[in-house]
Structure 1
Amino acid sequence: METQDGLLETQFLAAARYLSSRTDLNLGNEIQLELYALFKTATAGPCVSDRPGFFDFRARAKWDAWAAKAGMSKPAAMRAYIALASDRAGWTDDVEIIEPDIRGSTSHSVGGGDEKHMAMAVSRLENPEAEVPDASKTIWDWAREGRIDKVLAMLAELNTSITSTDEQGMTLLHWAADRGHADLMRELLQRTTAVDVVDSAGQTPLHLAVIVEHEDVVKLLLRAGASIAVVDAEGETPWDCASPAMRLLLRPESAAESALNLDIDKDVHIM
């Protein structure tokens, strides 16, 4: 018979899996930060790290949200997380979610490296994307949409570097990874060797690709030599951010196999 604490943890994990699976939710930064803070408190306890620098806005906002939960117990944070997921995202304990079992991870069953995967997309806080007229779109806007033709044309016309960042501190590689645009990523990787370029949060494109589980993009980045050991502003590597399913891809033997498969696929398409 499951204990009360065990039942609470089971519901908490189920709610977290649900949020991770719902890529269509638009909860806004305030709710995402609250979910992040509750998840961190529920899994890691109180915030004890140093506050990020003033210009690292995203990391600073996340730190502030987590630090504001000082004094809250892990069970209380789990209950608050469950309530918020139910109230704002429609989660119920009878929703069936097919997700990798995070208990198979080498980290703590409800914490550690799985935090970014399980806390929805709170590692990538964004402002709601207003409709931008085509004439006003930047090269990063086109990258978000996966428009290869527009991105390549502007790269040539504006003499823009692939590693240049937008106002959110993201490069073209980061947007391709974040949105899962494998074809765009393939084109960009043919034009740069800076595969481990970091954004304003210290994350590489591989960090983002494994967080949002874009398998094709992960394989492309590994084939291009992306490192699984780059540490971001929160002290986490792509391996730390990865779910168990993604970690299978990040193992050296799997990375080599992915590169081989991609070469085979490329030959097939050429023929």
Structure 2
Amino acid sequence: MDDPLEEQFTSAYTFLNNHPEINLSNEIKLKLYGYYKVVTTGKVDTAKPSLWEIRARAKWDAWKEIENTPTEEAMQMYVEIVEKANVGWNRDQLDDIAIEDETKEKNKENTQQERMKYVSTMSYEEEEDDDDENDIFSCTKKGDTAAVNKILDSGEIDVNAKDDQGLTLLHWASDRGYLEIVKLLIEKGADVNILSDEEKETPLHYSCISEHLDCARYLYHHGANSLIKNSEDLIAFDYCDAQFKEEVIKE
């Protein structure tokens, strides 16, 4: 390997994968993942994961945010992040670190898989839904239409209220494909065009991202404005193919 920067980059991510005990914050892991993908793949080439795919969505966002970074700059940023993390690696010790674990070098295919393992996983698991049967957001995420209806009928819940992620019940139901709950929420006065706090997306955005055709059709034919753009300047139909869109809009 003739390029010193490429050698440093390779050494840095090899070191991390050879030391799984290293504890880095999720913020740092996401940054490393984003720069790694820019170096090895380039621009984002996959569809945006749905809302409930928390880890995949976080990684996709981290990559998307920096996808236009030049390759050399991405390698440099990766190297600097690892070095500043004070995990025992620096660019002046490449030779010693490269031979630290000879067993991993004996099988190139397995070594590559180990390298990928660290930078493509997060240290946290997907959040578990709240099991509280009186929590309307928990009931919505689980698809419990009867429980959602009962809570709404109590009159104690605003159908357009948002949770700590800035999402409404209609966002969650649309993302998970619970058509009956989508219908119920709209009947109860849910704002079909309400925006999520962070990404400024409508429930139609979420149903298109998750490819829930029935929900997308119902939303569209009950007032969803398909021209609303999110924070990335994309409309809901930018997240689906032409055939899906045709099925949504047809009478």
Per-residue deviation, 1:228: 0.9
Q: Is the 8 A contact 2:44 2:63 kept in 1?
A: no
Q: Is the 8 A contact 1:33 1:65 kept in 2?
A: no
| 1:150-165 correspondence to structure 2 within 5 Å | 150-165=147-162
User: 1:21: which partner in 2?
Assistant: none
Query: CA 1:33/1:165 → structure 2, altered by over 3 Å: closer, same or farther?
Result: farther
Secondary structure in 2 matching 1:161? coil
Matched, 1:171 2:168: yes
Q: Is the 8 A contact 1:211 1:241 kept in 2?
A: yes
Q: Is the 8 A contact 2:44 2:67 kept in 1?
A: no
**1:146-172 per-position Cα deviation (integer Å, ceiling 9, x unaligned):** 111111111122521221100111101
**1:176-209 per-position Cα deviation (integer Å, ceiling 9, x unaligned):** 0110001111111212262111112100000000
Q: Figure out how many residues of one structure are paired with residues of the other and give that number.
A: 170
Which amino acid in structure 2 is aligned with residue 204 of structure 1? Answer: T
Per-residue deviation, 1:129: 2.3
Per-residue deviation, 1:215: 0.7
Per-residue deviation, 1:249: 2.7
Per-residue deviation, 1:237: 0.5
Q: Is the 8 A contact 1:195 1:225 kept in 2?
A: yes
Q: Is the 8 A contact 1:177 1:209 kept in 2?
A: yes
Matched, 1:185 2:205: no
Query: CA 1:222/1:69 → structure 2, altered by over 3 Å: closer, same or farther?
Result: closer
Which amino acid in structure 2 is aligned with residue 210 of structure 1? Answer: C
Q: 1:215 aligns with which of 213, 216, 222?
A: 213
User: 2:233: which partner in 1?
Assistant: 235
Q: Is the 8 A contact 2:171 2:206 kept in 1?
A: yes
| Superposition misfits of 4+ residues, deviation over 4 angstroms | 28-37
Return the alpha-carbon distance in structure 2 between the equivalents of residues 246 and 36 of structure 1.
30
Which amino acid in structure 1 is aligned with residue 228 of structure 2? Answer: V
The runs of 5 or more residues in structure 1 that have no matched partner are 1-27, 46-57, 77-82, 89-125, 258-271
Per-residue deviation, 1:65: 6.6
| 1:23-102 correspondence to structure 2 within 5 Å | 38=37, 42-43=42-43, 62=61, 66-67=65-66, 70-72=69-71, 87=116
Which amino acid in structure 1 is aligned with residue 65 of structure 2? Answer: W
Secondary structure in 2 matching 1:42? coil
Which amino acid in structure 1 is aligned with residue 154 of structure 2? Answer: E
Aligned CA RMSD, in angstroms, stands at 4.2
Query: CA 1:204/1:159 → structure 2, altered by over 3 Å: closer, same or farther?
Result: same
Task: Name the larger-Rg structure.
Answer: 2
Which amino acid in structure 1 is aligned with residue 195 of structure 2? Answer: V
Per-residue deviation, 1:127: 6.7
